Structure 1
Amino acid sequence: MKILPYIAACLVFGSVGVQAQSLPPNYKTTFENSDFIVMRVHYGAHEFVPMHDHSTYPTVYVYLNNSGEVDLKHEGPNGFTAHRPPTHTGAFRISPGMAERHSVTNLGDVPSDFLRVELKSIPPNDLKEVFRGEAPALPATPGTRTEFHDGALKIERTQCPTTESCTISAAGPRSLLVSIGTVKASIAGSERTLTPGDTVWVPASKDGSIRLSAGAQFLRVILQYP
């Protein structure tokens, strides 16, 4: 089995990183390149987060825990409050690019933890509608399936069997792997432990693979755009 040697250098653990400028400390940037900005987000139980701005990039939200309702109060002459329903571990949502300034109130009794995966290289008008993926079925069916696909973006979910390891191909367009649980991954000949929300940047390649431990679950965000 051939494993790409440069993937290991691109492995990013979500527990470390630089806090994004001009954003509250609830948002921590864990990875950035010319295609993606990955932020790990945490809203404490019943926490209020003051008004702040986000980029206009289209964004994929990957939910890392089962959490409650959240209100997002948008500022401006036509201000409104968006009501985010409860989230489920492993589910995701895609939002088109738009200017956004809001405060946040977590209405739930538990924290809300998720990733903001901002898509820097996809023009805002290429993703025109909100897409909300379903929560993964339990027990999850082993294999890889496509859960979103258009001309700009493709999102796949891989679930390894609970009794044996499996392999993700590193071949294809550039992409970002997102770990949903705590797993072990064999990358560049060494075994690493990935925790929920850890990401692996996979450059465009014609070959290579990553071996994952039994029961591993990953989302793969694949850029279809040049």
Structure 2
Amino acid sequence: MRRIAMMLLAVMSVALYGRAQDPLKTLPKNYWGEFEDPWVRVIHAHYGAGEHVPQHDHPKTPTLYVYLSDAGPVKFIHTGDDDFSITRQPVHIGQLRLNAGREETHKVESLSKTPSDFLRVEFKTLPLHLDSLHSRSPAAGKAFWHAAQPEKVEFEDTHIRIVRQGVQPGKSALLHSEAKHVVWLAIQVEGAQCAGKIAHAGESWDTAKLNVQAGAKRVEFLRVELK
């Protein structure tokens, strides 16, 4: 009996060891944290052109995907209770996708000839499987940039509000929010200063007011407000 128990323990240990893990710990070149507070976690994901990323886990949370680069298709090979594969079609800078949340264990195969960068914005306090959180928004078009200080509500329900904001080249702006909980996400910020320092795509802030000085190129953000 003791021998059987020891064998079972060994099998369980192997299974636990082989289980996919938090990619921030196991795949730091592909996933790293940009920001976290009690309400959201912002993860920067990076897949090199043609790269194969080993199996890993993502938590069961409603999630906003914000694409930071133009990239080709990427294949996600899911394992676990329901094995399946899905191929993300080509994406453009500034596209958005909301998902109502499911636990994920998958491998990744980039079919893109260029690197793919995007943000996973995980909403830690929102309930799962909200019908409203199945939404997509295209990249900002020419009409968006016609305004002196562009702004557009991309999504809103009883839980969150997502606003796209822009700053024209060479201009400065004080962006602000009156929401109780807000996080700003940098989409395109090349050469721009935000909060007093040079910013990078994917950088995130939780301040009510954000000072922005654009460089030679236009600057684009998302303002995500939790109600």
- For 1:101-112, list aligned pairs within 5 A: 101-112=105-116
Matched with 1:171 is: 178
Letter of the aligned partner of 2:77 in structure 1? K
Q: 1:126: how far off? A: 3.2
Matched with 2:165 is: 158
- Judge conservation of contact 1:97–1:127 (CA < 8 Å) in 2: no
TM-score normalized by structure 1? 0.80
Percent of aligned pairs sharing the same letter: 32
1:99 matches 2:103: yes
Matched with 2:220 is: 217
1:71 matches 2:75: yes
> Partner of 2:146: helix, strand, or coil?
coil
Aligned-partner Cα distance in 2 for 1:163–1:202: 23
Count of paired positions: 198
- For 1:112-191, list aligned pairs within 5 A: 112-126=116-130, 128-138=132-142, 140-142=145-147, 143-182=150-189, 183-185=192-194, 187=195, 191=196
Greater relative contact order (Cα < 8 A, sep 6+): 1
- Judge conservation of contact 2:186–2:222 (CA < 8 Å) in 1: yes
- Larger Cα-atom Rg: 2
Aligned-partner Cα distance in 1 for 2:134–2:116: 20
Quickly say closer, same or farther: Cα 1:39–1:104, change in 2 above 3 A. same
Letter of the aligned partner of 1:166 in structure 2? A
Letter of the aligned partner of 2:146 in structure 1? T
- Judge conservation of contact 2:34–2:202 (CA < 8 Å) in 1: no
Unaligned 5+ segments in structure 1 are 1-18, 204-208
1:51 matches 2:55: yes
- Judge conservation of contact 2:132–2:157 (CA < 8 Å) in 1: no
> Partner of 2:129: helix, strand, or coil?
helix
Matched with 1:200 is: 205
- Judge conservation of contact 1:24–1:52 (CA < 8 Å) in 2: no
- Judge conservation of contact 2:31–2:46 (CA < 8 Å) in 1: yes
Structure number with higher helix proportion: 2
Task: Tell me the C-alpha RMSD between the 2 structures.
Answer: 2.1
Matched with 2:25 is: 21
Matched with 1:6 is: none
1:32 matches 2:36: yes
Extract structure 1 runs of 4+ deviating beyond 6 A.
none
Q: 1:131: how far off? A: 1.3
- Judge conservation of contact 2:182–2:224 (CA < 8 Å) in 1: yes
Aligned-partner Cα distance in 2 for 1:31–1:129: 22
TM-score normalized by structure 2? 0.80
